[in-house]
Amino acid sequence: APVSTMSAPLRRAATLSVRAAFRPTVGVVQWNPVRTTIAPAAKLTPPFNGASRGFASDSDDDFKPTTHVSGASAIQAAIAKDVAENKVLLYMKGTPSAPQCGFSNMAVQILNSHGVEYATRNVLASEDTRNGIKEFSSWPTIPQVFIHGEFVGGCDILRQMHADGELEKTLKTAQ
């Protein structure tokens, strides 16, 4: 924007930053802003040497969901199968490498801190799955964690179990 259309505080800030960028310094490393590009989330590697698995677009086709079901009973059957087949399962918004809500991110961080292998299901990929998991567990919120086929709870319960040391004991039995 031209200098004449800027407000007085904005002109002052712009002038100061230009002066700071060109100010000669002796013995001090000068900060020079550099444009960087951030790799897309799909290109990032999961933390903890791949301890987590995602069923979303950032995973290999072999690991993507094989069920594309609709209807309440088919969704419930698919969820029950997921819960039974995975020792630790996280129904979340997004993927472990790109969580789409803070609570899902917190659940991923807690599970990653324990270095446990877990499966995930992105509920944003299917409205039927999103509603079906709430009905399956009788729990109204996402994320939802299942360990050994048993519903543990959401982010708040997972965080409390982590703080109490109870989660570590429960996860040791899952390995």
111-134 residue pLDDT tens: 999 888 999 999 998 888 899 989
Give dist(CA 70, CA 23) in Å, integer. Answer: 65
C-alpha torsion angle, residues 54, 56, 58, 60 (rounded to 10):
80
* pLDDT confidence bin for 92, thresholds 50/70/90: very high
Give dist(CA 99, CA 118) in Å, integer. Answer: 15
User: Which position has the higher pLDDT, 102 or 48?
Assistant: 102
Contacts for 99 with CB less than 8 Å, ≥ 6 apart: 92, 93, 105, 108
pLDDT of 136 over the 70 cut:
yes
pLDDT of 142 over the 90 cut:
yes
Look up the pTM and report it: 0.59
**Residue 50's pLDDT is what?**
45
Contacts for 94 with CB less than 8 Å, ≥ 6 apart: 56, 100, 101, 104, 122, 124
**Residue 16's pLDDT is what?**
61
b/e 27-64 (16+ beta carbons within 10 angstroms → b): eeeeeeeeeeeeeeeeeeebeeeebbbbbbebbeeeee
Question: What does the pLDDT average to over 79-86?
Answer: 90
Give dist(CA 140, CA 154) in Å, integer. Answer: 9
- Of residues 161, 62, 42, the one with CA closest to residue 111: 161
- Per residue in 47-81, pLDDT (tens digit) is 444 444 444 455 555 555 555 555 678 888 888 99
